[in-house]
Amino acid sequence: MVCKTMGDSGNRIASHAWKGDSHMLDSFGRNINKLRVSLGESCNMACTYCVTSIKDHIPDPNVLSSSDLLKLVSLLVQHSGITKIRITGGEPLLHRDLLGFIDGVRQQGVESIGLTTNGLNLSKLAVSLKEVGLDSVNISLDSLDAENFRRLGRAGRLERVLEGVEEALNAGLRIKLNMVVIRGANDHEVVDLLDYAIERGIELRYLELMRMGPLFQTEKFPLFSMSEILELIGKHYTWRKVDAEHDATAQRYWVPGGYFGIIPNESEPFCSTCSRLRLTSSGQLVGCLSNPTPTSIHHLLNQQEVASELNERVAHSIAFKEPVAFTGSNLGMSRIGG
């Protein structure tokens, strides 16, 4: 089936095609098969680059129950070519029915289920998360210095995150660490974090800062770029670039003892291979972080026949995807789930 829709974003026409029942290609040939599901905006941290204060995390009054959200996920898996799910937020480990939700997603028969967390509540949940079917966890960790951690995150204790990392390793979860590198704030910790990750056999990914939320249109954007990260690492490690999956957001590097990645949001945007769709906790689809115009699908919960309308809405949503580069947004990442 092939159809064309007109996106509201100017005159861009997005055509998309479902190959058989399982692949959905957009007009740029991107196979949109990854879904990020936000379980809610609540968070127990207030990272300086994500929000202006902890009060910015206003729970959405229209948040769906986890069983309704699960039904929407299942529709997207059945009808729209989604094969990989990542659970995010807000902070997903704060969600009361997280384990039930993962269990339900597991029963959809998807290829993989991942979760992104700040790790504060991970040590007590790691074993249950593994048991219920979670495959992998990305833990955000911007500093190994307790004071700096607190300065950047405005809340939470570093020690708890480090315990979470150990428990997740013991539970057999695949782990990645995410470090957002910010000039003048934690760039001096680039190598420390890599040492820490390599010692534990974990892949660390450096995230270039994105112009979102409080950083959108800021005059002094404290970007610490991919080339600067590589230069710093090069003083301590020999590194070599290796292949990454074609739709990976990270460029991947080998160093003696392990690998690391860099997600070069600013210096080498990867929108042309982006395969992600997002579902917010109130049942809105978001195709692109740069154009976070939501397309609602929650009314489909009450419909019998959903396939054609659902796919029309998915197509509308992905029509907003940028072809080449992220252009920034005033919406904070915790509102859409990254």
Task: Closer to ligand SAM by CB, 85 or 333: give it.
Answer: 333
- Please choose, out of 75-83, 87-95, 155-163, 241-249, the segment that lies near ligand SAM by the rule CB under 6 A: 87-95
The residue (of 94 and 127) whose beta carbon lies closer to ligand SAM is 94
The Cα–Cα gap between 301 and 65 comes to 12
Measured between alpha carbons, how far is 59 from 74 in angstroms, rounded to an integer?
24
Phi–psi pair at 234, nearest 5 degrees = -60, -20
Residue written as token pair 């054609």 = 308
Q: Which of 48, 117, 121, 329 binds ligand SAM (CB under 6 A)?
A: 117
By CB under 6 A, residue 197 contacts ligand SAM = no
The phi and psi torsions of 86 (rounded to 5 degrees) equal -125, 130
CA-nearest of 43, 50, 38, 41 to 211 is 50
Residues 198-257 within binding reach of ligand SAM (CB under 6 A): 207, 209-210, 212, 215
Using the minimum distance from each CB to ligand SAM, give the nearer residue, 285 or 306: 285
Strand partners, 176: 138, 203
Q: Which residue of 27, 118, 249, 290 would you call a contact of ligand SAM, by CB under 6 A? A: 118
| Min separation Cβ 299 and ligand SAM, Å | 27
Closer residue to ligand SAM, CB minimum distance, 12 or 174: 174
| Residue 167 binds ligand SAM (CB under 6 A) | no
Other Cβ atoms less than 10 A from the Cβ of 240: the count is 9
Strand 23-25 and strand 13-19: the pairing is: antiparallel
Number of CB atoms found within 10 A of residue 146's CB: 12
CA distance 187 to 232: 9
CB of 43 to ligand SAM, least distance (A): 5
The 56-85 site mask, x for binding ligand SAM (CB under 6 A), equals ------------------------------
Is residue 49 close enough to count as binding ligand SAM by CB under 6 A? Answer: yes
Any alpha helices (H) in the chain, and if so which ranges? Answer: 66-79, 98-106, 122-132, 146-153, 158-171, 190-199, 226-234, 307-318, 333-336
Alpha-carbon distances of 28 from 50, 153, 251, 315, rounded to whole Å: 30, 37, 21, 13
* CA proximity to 154, closest of 177, 126, 120: 120
Q: Which of 27, 123, 140, 282 binds ligand SAM (CB under 6 A)?
A: 140
From the list 5-13, 116-124, 226-234, 243-251, the region that binds ligand SAM by CB under 6 A is 116-124
Q: Which residue, 7 or 114, is less far from ligand SAM as judged by CB?
A: 114
Closer by beta carbon to ligand SAM, 80 or else 265: 265
Binding flag, residue 334, ligand SAM (CB under 6 A): yes
Among 25, 46, 50, 173, binds ligand SAM (CB under 6 A): 50
Q: Are 253 and 260 within 8 A, CB to CB?
A: yes
Number of H helices, E strands in the chain: 9, 15
Judged by CB under 6 A, does residue 279 bind ligand SAM? Answer: no
Phi, psi of 220 (to 5 degrees): -105, 85
Which segment (21-29, 78-86, 111-119, 183-191) binds ligand SAM by CB under 6 A? 111-119
The answer to whether 3 and 11 have CB atoms below 8 angstroms apart is no
Instruction: Kindly indicate which of the ranges 2-10, 88-96, 163-171, 242-250 contains the residues binding ligand SAM, using the contact rule CB under 6 A.
Output: 88-96
Question: Site residues (CB under 6 A) for ligand SAM?
Answer: 43, 49-50, 88-89, 91, 116-118, 140, 178, 180, 207, 209-210, 212, 215, 333-334, 338
